[in-house]
């Protein structure tokens, strides 16, 4: 089965939807998304979108904060343009009807504060910013006749010129370019070919590669893994951001406690009530995320406790309930009244700062293949993303991609689409070995948490590399011998991402930003002030 559109957008978070809405002015858009359209990381984002809107703020200050956080690895051109173009993109969201929180009794937006920001600049919708944005974008997309959604479809692999050439479907191999993707319709196990003259990966991150994560179940690194298999350049995968404060609770697995809680005065304390962040950084609880996460890790290792606590009880109950209704309500359901008691928290994998390397128009090295949002590495985040810069990046890059994507479309419209063969299931039969998949899934996540976490060492990374390589062999055997299932596709992708994180971490023999290794505890600008690049390919 084949489905053709001008633009094929894979993923339905802020990046995919923002791009799709603008692309629909030029042609048809198919949005392929893994679960329901709102099952995205965007929808869970609490804190907000960093942007220069305050009277006391400036583009230069935001740029400086981003560069300091990125610890020497930011691409300055990307930082400059994302920060400068941010305010216009926020105004577009307001025009679309996103209900951001406004100042009491005023017209202006209420601006929050988060770690590493020298000014209040976080535009937010209480503590449910992503949900407000996703809702508005989805409503607009639903009304757009050029946009069609394909929910419950997971991509398996990209369709590239080289792949078609190898299968005899085209006769030339003039350049490496992308024509679409094969995707499994999870509802009926049928594999379909989605063709697009322009293909945009907006699949989010890979937090599920770690045992503890703030990410939703969809975050299995599908975009990075499929892009990498197709020959796209991958950069900086060692820089995995651990959010310092996820709720520690046996019943919920990924509930984030927004950094905005610390922005409004919340303090981290240990089980004995000691506020410890002043021992680690002069910015205390609002230090950069890598510093806060490592401080908590150190405290937990030292004390043997299972969690630390975040205390905002000094603020009035009225303020807490109004500013953080989501966090207050969820914690209350779980038996913690945050207006009266501190909440138990631990760090958890939160954001992939690396990804498919793109230019400042979201183009990858494969022609007609773009990457937007967490799946991409534009160079904005460097070695450590500044809080709330990610939704901003997605908005700005989606806008910047439109112009070259529209030009690509015009060029390709003049050419015939290739005759793409149906998916070849090989000699596959139904697998009843689901236990192999679930076992390997659990093993990867435990291995990554224990050996490739907040504090690393060469010996632990080497052990992880061995284990992941064994698992990889088993999965490849499975992949080629059995019919593909969503679980198998995700497991294969997770393993690829795990391999990329480990290899990148092993190759960076220094400590910088989010990558901290006991064997090389210092920064080495002379050798490592550069991106970590990996590229494999079918060639």
**Residue ranges in contact with ligand SIN by CB under 6 A:** 46-47, 258-260, 351, 387-388, 390
Distances (CA, A) of 282 to 24, 58, 177, 244, 485: 48, 23, 49, 17, 50
Q: At closest approach, how far in Å is the CB of 50 from ligand SIN?
A: 8
Question: Length of the chain in residues, anyone?
Answer: 539
Residue 307 or 387 having the CB closest to ligand SIN: 387
Q: How far is CA 224 from the centre of its chain?
A: 10
- Three-state SS for 478-521 is HHHHECCCHHHHHHHHHHHHHHHHHHHHHHCCCCECCECECCCC
User: How far apart are CB 22 and ligand SIN at their closest, in Å?
Assistant: 23
User: Please, is 301 exposed, middle or buried when counting C-beta atoms within 10 Å of its C-beta (0-12, 13-18, 19+)?
Assistant: exposed
Q: C-beta of 125: minimal distance to ligand SIN in Å?
A: 12
CB nearer to ligand SIN: pick between 114 and 176: 114
Using CB atoms within 10 Å of the CB of residue 474, give its burial: 0 to 12 exposed, 13 to 18 middle, 19+ buried.
Answer: middle
3-state secondary structure of 311: strand
Of 113 and 445, CB closest to ligand SIN = 113
Q: Are 534 and 237 in contact (CB under 8 A)?
A: yes
What is the smallest separation between the CB atom of 226 and ligand SIN, expressed in angstroms? 24
CA dihedral 359, 198, 226, 529 (to 10 degrees): 0
Question: Of 127 and 503, which has the nearer Cβ to ligand SIN?
Answer: 127
Q: Is the CB of 312 or the CB of 387 nearer to ligand SIN? A: 387
The CA–CA distances, whole Å, from 9 to 5, 154, 200, 217, 371 equal: 10, 12, 5, 20, 10
Distances (CA, A) of 64 to 68, 71, 118, 288, 401: 6, 11, 9, 13, 25
- Cα(201)–Cα(226) distance, rounded to whole angstroms? 10
Nearer of residues 47 and 196 to ligand SIN, judged by Cβ: 47
**Structure tokens belonging to residue 374:** 């967490």
- Least distance (Å) from ligand SIN to the CB of residue 418? 40
CA–CA distance, 501 with 237 (Å, rounded to integer): 5
12 neighbors 31 (Cβ within 8 angstroms): yes
- The residue (of 195 and 261) whose beta carbon lies closer to ligand SIN is 261
Smallest distance from ligand SIN to CB 491, Å? 26
Q: Which two tokens stand for residue 290?
A: 């890598």
**Min separation Cβ 356 and ligand SIN, Å:** 20
- The tokens for 488 are 């198998």
Which value, in Å, is the radius of gyration of the alpha carbons in the chain?
Answer: 22
- Is 119 an active-site residue? no
Cβ closer to ligand SIN: 351 or 451? 351
For tokens 């793409």, name the residue.
Answer: 420
Choice between 213 and 390, CB closer to ligand SIN: 390
- What are the CA-CA distances from residue 332 to residues 255, 329, 342, 535 (Å)? 13, 5, 12, 47
- Of all residues in this chain, which one has the CB nearest to ligand SIN in the complex? 47
| DSSP conformational letter for 235 | E
Cα separation, 327 vs 330, in Å, equals 5
To the nearest whole angstrom, how small is the minimum distance from the Cβ of residue 388 to ligand SIN?
4
- Which of 289, 330, 363, 460 is catalytic? The answer is 289
Shortest reach from residue 260's CB to ligand SIN, in Å:
6
| Catalytic residue annotation | 289
């Amino acid at each position: 089965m084949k489905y053709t559109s001008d633009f094929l957008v894979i993923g339905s978070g802020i990046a995919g939807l923002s791009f799709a809405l603008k692309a629909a002015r030029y042609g048809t858009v198919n949005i392929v998304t893994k679960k329901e359209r709102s099952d995205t990381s965007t929808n869970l984002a609490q804190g907000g979108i960093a942007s220069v809107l305050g009277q006391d703020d400036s583009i230069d200050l935001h740029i400086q904060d981003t560069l300091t956080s990125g610890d020497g690895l930011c691409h300055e051109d990307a930082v400059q343009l994302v920060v400068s173009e941010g305010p216009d993109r926020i105004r577009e969201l307001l025009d679309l009807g996103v209900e951001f929180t406004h100042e009491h009794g005023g017209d202006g937006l209420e601006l929050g504060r988060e770690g590493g920001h020298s000014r209040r600049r976080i535009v937010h919708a209480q503590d449910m910013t992503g949900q407000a944005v996703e809702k508005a974008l989805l409503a607009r997309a639903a009304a757009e006749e050029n946009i069609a959604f394909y929910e419950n479809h997971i991509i398996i692999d990209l369709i590239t010129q080289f792949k078609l050439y190898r299968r005899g479907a085209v006769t030339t191999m003039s350049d490496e370019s992308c024509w679409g993707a094969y995707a499994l319709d999870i509802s009926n196990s049928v594999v379909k070919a989605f063709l697009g003259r322009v293909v945009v990966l907006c699949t989010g991150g890979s937090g599920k590669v770690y045992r503890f994560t703030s990410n939703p179940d969809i975050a299995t690194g599908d975009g990075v893994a499929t892009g990498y298999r197709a020959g796209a350049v991958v950069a900086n995968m060692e820089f995995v951001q651990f959010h310092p404060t996820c709720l520690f609770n046996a019943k919920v697995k990924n509930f984030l406690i927004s950094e905005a809680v610390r922005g409004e005065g919340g303090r981290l304390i240990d089980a004995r009530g000691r506020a410890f962040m002043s021992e680690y950084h002069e910015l205390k609880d609002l230090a950069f995320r890598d510093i806060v996460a490592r401080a908590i890790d150190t405290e937990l290792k030292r004390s043997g406790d299972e969690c630390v606590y975040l205390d905002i009880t000094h603020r009035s109950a009225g303020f807490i309930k109004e500013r953080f209704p989501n966090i207050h309500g969820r914690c209350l359901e779980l038996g913690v009244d945050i207006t009266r008691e501190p909440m138990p928290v631990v760090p958890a994998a939160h954001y992939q700062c690396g990804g498919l390397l793109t230019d400042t128009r979201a183009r990858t090295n494969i022609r007609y293949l773009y990457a937007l949002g967490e799946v991409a590495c534009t160079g904005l985040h460097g070695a450590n993303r500044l809080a709330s810069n990610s939704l901003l990046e997605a908005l700005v890059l989606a806008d910047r991609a439109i112009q070259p994507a529209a030009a690509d479309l015009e060029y390709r419209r003049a050419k015939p689409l290739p005759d793409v063969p149906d998916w070849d299931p090989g000699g596959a039969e139904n697998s009843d070995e689901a236990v192999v998949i679930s076992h390997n899934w659990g093993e990867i996540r435990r291995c990554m948490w224990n050996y490739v976490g907040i504090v690393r060492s060469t010996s632990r990374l080497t052990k992880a590399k061995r284990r992941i390589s064994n698992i990889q062999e088993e999965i490849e055997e499975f992949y080629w011998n059995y019919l593909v299932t969503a679980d198998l596709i995700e497991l294969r992708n997770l393993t690829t991402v795990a391999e990329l994180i480990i290899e990148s971490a092993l190759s960076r023999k220094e400590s910088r930003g989010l990558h901290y290794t006991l064997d090389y505890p210092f920064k080495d600008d002379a050798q490592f002030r550069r991106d970590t690049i990996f590229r494999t390919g079918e060639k």
